Structure formats: C-alpha cells, structure tokens
Amino acid sequence: MRLVVVGGVAAGLSAASRARRVDRSLEIVVLEKGSRISYGACGLPYLVEGQVSSLDELTVHPPEFFERERDIRIRTGCEVKSVAHAKREVLLASGERIRYDRLVWAAGARPAASVRGERVFTLHNDRDAERLQAFLHEHQPRTASVVGGGYIGLEMATALRARGLAVTLYHDGLNLLNREEPWLTERVSARLQQCGVTLRLNTPVAAPDDLGDDFVLWTAGLKPNVEILAEAGAELGRTGALRVSEHLESSLGGVYAAGDCCEAMHRVTGRPAWIPLGTTANKMGRVAGANAAGARERFEGITGTSIVRIGGLAVAMTGLGMIQARREGFTPVEALVEARDRPKYFRGRKVAVQLVADRNSRRLLGAAICGDEGVAGRINVAATALAARMTAADFAALDLAYAPPYATVADPLLVAAQTLLKALDAR
C-alpha cells in the first residue's frame, strides 16, 4: 500500500506523520513543489520584520528527520500536473508518474490575483520571502505599498514600518481582517496610524505598478489549490474549496484532503466554511492522514479562531461577527465592553471584548477581543465555549482564575457576558 501526500508544509506533513503512526508498513511519499518542507509559513512576516533571522529558523524538521525517524520519503521540487484517479496515478511536471493507493491532497492555497512585476511581491511561501528579503537588502527601498487588509497585509505593513519604510496600506473593503465589525476596524486603524502606516480603506487597487511606491507587496486574496483535483473529478463546495466528508475524504474514494485547499465544517453554523489557517491545516492533516492509513476518525470542525498582532495590539476573533451571524440566519445580539485585564495597581490595561449571541436560542455565536495584553487566552476561552455550544448564561457562569497579577476578580469576559445577558433580556 502506498500513500502519496501532495504538499509538504502544515497539513501534508501532519498527514504523513500520523499515517505512519497508524500503519507502520505503509509506503509514504510526500511530494512538495518547492525546495523546502515543514516550515512555519505564519512566521514569514517575522522574518521580514527581523524577529526571525533565517528561513531555517522557521523550519520545524528537515527532510532527513522524516526519512530517518518516520520512514517517510520526502521529494521536493515535485510539481503535480494532474491526477488520474481511475489509474490511481499522479503525473508530475517532469513527466514522471507516481502510483498511489491512497492520496492526501494538501496542496494549500495561493494568492488569488496573479500580479507580476519586478517590484511586485507576494508573501505566500518561502520563495516569496527569499525574493522579498533579497529585494529589501539590495535596493534598500524607502516606501512600500501593501495591498490587502487581512492578517498578512496588516502584519507586513507594521513590519515594514518597523524597518523604517513609509508604508501605505490599501484595502478594497470598508472593514479589515475579514470581519465586518466597524469597531474592530476603528481600533486597528487607530493603531496603524500610531505606527505611522497610512491606511486607505475602500480603495481597490487595479494596477499595482501605478501606486508609485518603491515596491508593492500584494497580500489581497487567497485561492484554494483545487483545480488539478477538480479536473480529476473531485467536487468543490459552495466556497470554491474542496468538499470533504467528516472523515476528510473528498468525493473521490480514497482521496483525502486537508488544510487550505479544502473546506472545514464550521461548528457554529454547522455548514462548511473556508477559513485557511495553519492550526486547522495541522489538525485536518492528522485526521486525513489517519484515515488514509486505515483509521476512521472524524474531524470535529472549526470555530475560525485567529489572532494577529498589529503594532503591539492583539486582535483576536472566533465564531461569527454580527453581520456574518445575520447572514447565516441567526438573530444576533451583541455586547461590547471595555474592561481592565488586571487591577490598576498591576498596570492593568483595557481590553475590548465583543460577544455575539443568538436572541432565540441564547447560544453564543462569536467573540472578538482586542487589546495590548491578555487577548490570546481570552479568545481561546470563547472558542472553547463555542465548541461546547454554550449559551450566554453558561458563559457567564464560568469559573475563571483570579489573582491580582493576572486578572481582575470579574474577568472582562464575564463582564461582557453580564452585559450580553442584559442585551438578550431587553427587547
């Protein structure tokens, strides 16, 4: 039995490693288009910022580790051209054909627009990062245009600013971070301004070359890498990413998918969603790999939990925002409070907490939190509550830890929950 895994970053390597633990005798081959595997792509902005000194520092394990410790064959520089599922064959760009019994498709995503130009950059993979680093080093640019107001755009705008560049950030929508929450956009905008980043909201960019800065970093939009598998007959979901079962099998029997190329069940809406994130890729990879090796595990789904740092401000979210909740058919009610994360005498700082619940079921639907400290832990509490389908009252009854160096006796989460209960009771 041979398992072929397409993709050697987060989902692919989780799948391969897990498959090995499930079946010691399986032949496992990982095909990676690039020259490097197993690197933490989420660390790329910090390479540019200077926090990370080299790509090697972002590499979790070298190929030899997988070969030696896990008996997994790693083949870099292998671009897949097509899949002939009837013959159980993968065709490489080199012309080589590789037979499989089981396939895990973990081909990730790519920038949605194909923007090109000597001074136009993306930051999606290791090659992108190397190219940008080389450019920054060689040309010592003084000004940069960053296009896209998602995670990478915001991280990179502040990272380049921290390197001393004049940065303008262009975003085509009215709200940042893929969350239609004006209050969040306001706070992020204020922090960008403090950092000296010029923000142009509601400003689509058609021709990056016309922006006039020394270079352009294009971070707007991602597309799942589904075309090859779709051509082979795999179904896509309504999001445009690969449709998978709860066991992460695609519509092609024996072909599993994981990570940024496919949908995942959203635990709040109960419907498939496409929210490409590294944490999800790792977890899906494990399940896809286990099942491809003969196990029968279920992927429990996601709540879409994320966090990003923007000039020292932590912005985190999970579940649904107000507008998204309405679109999904809920009748959302919100509470938005500001409360100190610790007592004043421990230099406590204000954290803003938004909780969203459904008026009818009183179930918690989502949360967004921003502040300089104490944000990550709190969003995870909300994510846990979403996974457990807690109501606002369940959430308000949580027994959270308190000691003056770490929290206030009424945690900002619980203050928000009390406000939410009042909002639910009001008409």
Q: Which residues bind a second copy (CB under 8 A)?
A: 10, 40, 42-43, 46, 51-53, 57-58, 151, 267, 277-280, 282-283, 299-309, 314, 316, 318, 343-346, 374-381, 383-385, 387-388, 390, 394, 397-407, 409-411
Nearer to a second copy, 173 or 278 (CB): 278
Handedness of CA 49, 53, 56, 57 (dihedral sign): negative
Cα(360)–Cα(386) distance, rounded to whole angstroms? 16
State which H helix or E strand residue 188 sits in.
helix 182-195
Three-state SS at 126: helix
8 A C-beta contact, residue 83 and residue 225: no
Which pairing describes strands 143-147 and 215-218: parallel, antiparallel, or unpaired? parallel
When the beta carbons of 109 and 234 are compared against a second copy, the nearer one is: 109
Least distance CB 132 / a second copy (angstroms): 17
CB of 397 to a second copy, least distance (A): 4
Least distance to a second copy, CB of residue 85, Å? 30
Spatial CB neighbours of 250, under 8 Å, sequence gap ≥ 6: 105, 229, 234, 235, 242, 243, 244, 256, 257, 262
Nearer to a second copy, 21 or 99 (CB): 21
CB of 137 to a second copy, least distance (A): 19
> Residue 161 is inside which H or E element, if any?
helix 151-162
The separation between CA 140 and the C-alpha centre of its own chain, rounded to angstroms, equals 30
Nearest to 252, CA basis, from 51, 5, 83? 83
The residues pairing with 298 across neighbouring beta strands, listed in sequence order, are none
Specify which residues 90 forms β-bridges with. 83, 98
Instruction: From 346, 355, 352, select the one nearest 398 (Cα to Cα).
Output: 355
| Residue nearer to a second copy on the CB measure, 79 or 425 | 425
Q: Taking the complex as a whole, how short is the minimal distance between the CB of residue 299 and a second copy, in angstroms?
A: 8
- Catalytic (active site) residue 42: yes
CB 193 to a second copy: min, Å: 21
Q: Which is nearer to a second copy, 157 or 385 (CB)?
A: 385
- 């671009």: which residue's tokens? 79
Residue 172 vs 394, nearer CB to a second copy: 394
* Token representation of residue 14: 């989780």
- Report the run of H or E that residue 353 belongs to, with start and end: strand 350-358
Q: Which of 222, 264, 244, 245 is CA-nearest to residue 110?
A: 222
Task: Measure the CA–CA gap between 304 and 321, rounded to whole angstroms.
Answer: 11
Which of 91/393 has CB closer to a second copy? 393
CB of 310 to a second copy, least distance (A): 10
**What order of strands is seen across the sheet that includes strand 120-121?**
120-121, 215-218, 143-147, 166-170, 198-200
Query: Would you name the residues annotated as active-site residues?
Result: 42
